[in-house]
Copies of this chain bind each other. A is one copy, B any other.
Amino acid sequence: MIKVLSEIDQKEIIKGFKARFIHTATNTIGYVEIEKGAVLPEHSHHHEQITQITKGTLKMVVNNETCILNAGSIIIIPPNAKHSAIALKACKVIDVFSPVREDYK
């Protein structure tokens, strides 16, 4: 099955976070554009999350550890880890969630 990223509907999942999703049998992949200054409040979920920054700068706090992520950085967030984020610059990121994010369908 082929998908073209630009043809996938973009949803604003949180103010300033606009995402396109692909759901497979095992994973959800999110292609996310984040406005500068947008805030993802602290939360957790049972899905493992791998976040790759492809553009911009994202400050994340994962289990109370703060990190600054630039393009080319990848962070692995274990299941149930508390995490939050703020975009220090406008960002593009690719999130891989396992298992599927049913709540993003």
Contacts and interface: CB of A to CB of B under 8 A. Distances in A.
A76 interface: yes
Contacts of A96: 27, 29, 96
Contacts of A44: none
B2 A75 contact: yes
Interface in A1-18: 1-6
Given A1-B76, A74-B22, A50 B69 contact: no
Contacts of A67: 2
Nearest to A60: B2
Interface of A: 1-6, 22, 24-27, 29, 48, 50, 52, 67, 69, 72-76, 78-79, 94, 96, 98-99
